With several copies, the nearest count.
Chain A
Amino acid sequence: MYSEKVMDHFQHPRNVGEIENASGVGTVGNAKCGDIMRMYLDIDDNGVIQDCKFKTFGCGAAVATSSMATELVKGKTIQQALEVTNKAVMEALDGLPPVKVHCSLLAEEAIHAALWDYAEKHGIKIEGLKKPKSDIHEGEEEEGEDY
């Protein structure tokens, strides 16, 4: 059911782990399925993301999107990181099955939460960043055909 890229990132997830004294840490939970993701960012003084690590309690898609998201934000500026949406992550993974689209939101929201934490700690405001919800509620529904 998963693409080869998803399976690759699931089997060999990049950047699993924690960053001690991280610049920002964000934890989000997915109300739809109960999964949880924590993202650690190490941001240098120029606002460039030097390192990024994650821990995920979730399905194969959650693990793979976490892994891909960390790869995508590494080396990026904060503003560039905000453009790493769930769509971008999914594209980088050659897509996800429809029921798994919501999983990719975890990664996007976790990045945002970590950035928010960073901003709060440093007393700055990041343009275009909203306070993350602790739970993600949206996500595409299948067309109105479910039982």
Chain B
Amino acid sequence: MKKLIYLDNAATTKTAPEVVEAMLPYFTEHYGNPSTVYSLGGESKKAITEARETIANALGAQTEEIYFTAGGSESDNWALKATAEAYKSKGNHIITTKIEHHAILHTCEWLEKHGYEITYLPVDENGVVKIDELKKAIRPETILISVMFANNEIGTIQPIKEIGEIAHEHGILFHTDAVQAFGQVPINVDEYHIDMLSASGHKLNGPKGIGFLYIRKGVKIRSFIHGGAQERKRRAGTENVPGIVGLGKATERAMATMKERTDKEIELRDYLIDRVLKEIPYTRLNGHRTTRLPNNANFSFQFIEGESLLIMLDMEGICGSSGSACTSGSLDPSHVLMAIGLPHEIAHGSLRLTLNEEITKEDLDFVVENLKRIIDRLRSMSPLYED
């Protein structure tokens, strides 16, 4: 079988073997429901507490400020909808950006149908939120600012600290979707003035179907999923103990290796970017050149279409992703690439390659060679390309 070069780590990651190892006993041995009285449930409860501590430490938060959810999407939905509900008497205005993940954007659209007003901030050509636009957007009835920590497509990291400061100067709650950033870049909720933060396990070599929402003490939001008294009565549902243990382990792992891992990723990422820009004509890099996720590279190749490119890369064992409309169920081209000003047909030919710690320079050389060949071939088939 061909070697697999997995460069779609922003979509999801391989669950680390030691994470799976840590989870296993909680399926068949310590399977007790943590809400029960007997000792079997006590094992589960202890494991959950430990995971919560690990995560809280990673953020400079307090243990009881971490609430487990089923993933980033639930965390985002919860943060926005429950804040909107809890602070309705204060106001009905929420500020977010044009480049958020759909879990934020579609939730905002839902809120718009329910009487809330949303401002979608523009970004500059590098995908950085325009701070002056943020300042202008603030109104007395603004209850929440939600800006993602780092973008999932183009990798741009936002000036979160500055945004947090502005939010707090105005007495506005600040939520950040850190699904792509948690475990990749250092985050401190106090330093950055973050009131709520979403994260998802499978983006940092943890399991799928588990995530958390950090909620600063004092923020008055209630449940999004109503029912049993789990998670201090804020999130109902029998706890996904193996998932929580896995997320704890993944966090521990990501924090312990962060510096070394991301240093290496940055080096390789830049090597990839340099080679592609130099060796493939009519190509641009999307996102900020340096203030970007350590493992993210995103290119647009003119005259070609992303899905075809992905399929051809797949034939060589290379997994990537594209902002092309054709790869998604929605048929809309990436709203992120549109927001940084790309014309439709250029957004179409985009390719996101996101590294992990296992990727080597040789892998990237193989990728670049194949890219050159495939792009040549697709361009020769393209009615847009006249050479």
Contacts and interface: CB of A to CB of B under 8 A. Distances in A.
Given A1-B45, A34-B344, A145-B232, A55 B308 contact: no
A27 B45 CA distance: 35
Residue of A61, A142, A145 contacting most chain B CB atoms (<10 Å):
A145
A20 interface: no
A-B pairs, top 3 by smallest CB distance, nearest first, are: A59-B326, A59-B307, A55-B383
Interface of B: 37, 42, 45, 106, 220, 222-223, 226, 229, 232-234, 303-305, 307-308, 311, 315, 324-327, 329-331, 333, 344-345, 348, 380-384
B383 A11 contact: no
A87 interface: no
A10 to B, nearest CB: 6
A43 interface: no
A99 B325 contact: no
Contacts of A59: 305, 307-308, 324, 326-327
The main secondary structure of chain A at its interface with chain B is mixed
A57 B233 CA distance: 27
B233 A145 contact: yes
A1 B222 contact: no
A13 interface: yes
Interface string A10-32: 11010010000000000100001
A57 B37 CA distance: 18
Contacts of B220: 144
A1 B42 CA distance: 7
What band does the interface of chain A fall in when counting residues whose beta carbon is under 8 Å from B? 20 to 34
Interface of A: 1, 7, 10-11, 13, 16, 27, 32-38, 55-63, 99, 102-103, 142, 144-147
Contact of A33 (B37, B234, B311, B325): B325
B222 A56 contact: no
B381 A35 contact: no
A10 B383 contact: no
Contacts of A11: 315
17 contacts: A7-B311, A10-B308, A11-B315, A16-B380, A34-B344, A37-B383, A57-B303, A57-B304, A57-B305, A57-B383, A59-B326, A62-B305, A63-B308, A99-B329, A147-B106, A147-B222, A147-B223
A102 B325 CA distance: 13
A37 B384 CA distance: 9
Contacts of B304: 57
B52 to A, nearest CB: 15
B382 A57 contact: yes
Contact of A16 (B45, B327, B381): B381
B308 A60 contact: yes
Residue of B229, B311, B315, B327 contacting most chain A CB atoms (<10 Å):
B311
A102 B42 CA distance: 22
Given A57-B303, A58-B326, A59-B326, 14 more contacts: A7-B311, A27-B383, A33-B326, A34-B325, A34-B348, A36-B384, A37-B383, A55-B383, A56-B383, A60-B308, A61-B326, A99-B331, A144-B220, A145-B234
